[in-house]
């Protein structure tokens, strides 16, 4: 029996074979991870998912046929338990916001792939969301004008601050440092925010924050 029987299984979807091979080598160096499939376009990915049912799909945005945003929507609709990590060269805020709204669990730039890929996978595997540091400013710039109180808001200003920093890609530790709070206080705020909004996890919370524009300049 393979030692990887209970490994975290991943499919790579990218139309550049050499890049897929590089990504596969990084993943294969981690004993708890296993690449169980490679495809070069979105239709091929959707075709093999029913039999493979991986834990995660690493997905390029621009491949022949379906765009990555449409693929993400379809994967999340059919297999909501499958995590989607976007791995792309696109740095625009429009690409980022569209795929996050479509349900992606992470957005990693290809230029950061060889240094940050395993960290991104681990973060998502543990229930979090991952956004390349280089994209945080794009998100902040796109949403910062929307960070304001409005009638009917259920979140306090402090809760909005915590949520805005989470959406901007900050970890709980970074949020605590930025707001001069303890990590326990940040976790308490996040728990209260989730209860108020009836949201179960940070990935859903980030999507809510994107929809509502809870991002501020840091």
Q: What is the pLDDT of residue 139?
A: 57
Q: What is the pLDDT of residue 157?
A: 79
> In sequence order, what DSSP letters do the residues of 59-90 get, joined into one string?
E-SS-SSS-HHHHHHHHHHH-TTSEEEEEES-
Same fold, 8-131 and 137-212: yes
Homologous superfamily of domain range 137-212: Response regulator (3.40.50.2300)
Domain boundaries defined on the chain: 8-131, 137-212
CATH top class, domain 8-131: alpha beta
Q: What share of the chain is helix, strand, coil (3-state, %, to 5)?
A: 55, 15, 30
Question: What is the phi-psi region of residue 147: left when phi exceeds 0, alpha when psi lies from -120 to 50, beta otherwise?
Answer: beta
Q: What is the pLDDT of residue 37?
A: 95
Determine the 3-state secondary structure of 127 from DSSP.
Answer: coil
Q: What is the pLDDT of residue 14?
A: 94
- Percent of the chain's residues with pLDDT above 70: 86
pLDDT digits (tens, 9 = 90+) for 39-95: 999 899 999 999 889 999 999 998 887 888 999 999 999 999 999 999 999 888 778
Tokens 């957005």 belong to 107
CB of 193 closer than 8 Å to CB of 158: no
User: What rounded mean pLDDT belongs to the chain?
Assistant: 84
Q: What is the pLDDT of residue 75?
A: 94
- How far apart (Å, rounded) are the C-alpha atoms in residues 107 and 59? 10
Listed as ranges, residues in the chain with pLDDT below 70 are 1-6, 134, 136-153, 213-218
Q: What is the pLDDT of residue 189?
A: 93
Determine the 3-state secondary structure of 39 from DSSP.
Answer: strand
């Amino acid at each position: 029996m393979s030692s990887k029987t209970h490994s975290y299984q991943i499919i790579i979807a990218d139309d550049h074979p050499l890049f897929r091979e590089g990504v596969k080598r990084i993943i294969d160096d981690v004993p708890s991870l296993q690449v169980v499939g490679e495809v070069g376009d979105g239709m091929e990915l959707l075709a093999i998912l029913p039999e493979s049912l991986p834990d995660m799909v690493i997905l390029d945005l621009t491949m022949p046929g379906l765009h990555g945003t449409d693929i993400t929507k379809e994967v999340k609709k059919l297999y909501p338990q499958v995590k989607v990590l976007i791995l792309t060269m696109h740095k625009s805020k429009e690409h980022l916001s569209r795929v996050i709204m479509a349900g992606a669990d992470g957005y990693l730039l290809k230029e950061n792939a060889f240094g940050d890929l395993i960290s991104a996978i681990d973060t998502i595997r543990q229930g979090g969301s991952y956004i390349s540091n280089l994209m945080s400013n794009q998100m902040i710039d796109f949403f910062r004008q929307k960070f304001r109180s409005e009638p009917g808001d259920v979140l306090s200003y402090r809760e909005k601050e915590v949520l805005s920093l989470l959406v901007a890609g900050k970890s709980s530790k970074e949020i605590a440092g930025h707001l001069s709070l303890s990590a326990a206080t940040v976790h308490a705020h996040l728990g209260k925010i989730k209860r108020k909004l009836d949201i179960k996890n940070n990935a859903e919370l980030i999507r809510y924050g994107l929809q509502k524009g809870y991002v501020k300049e840091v």
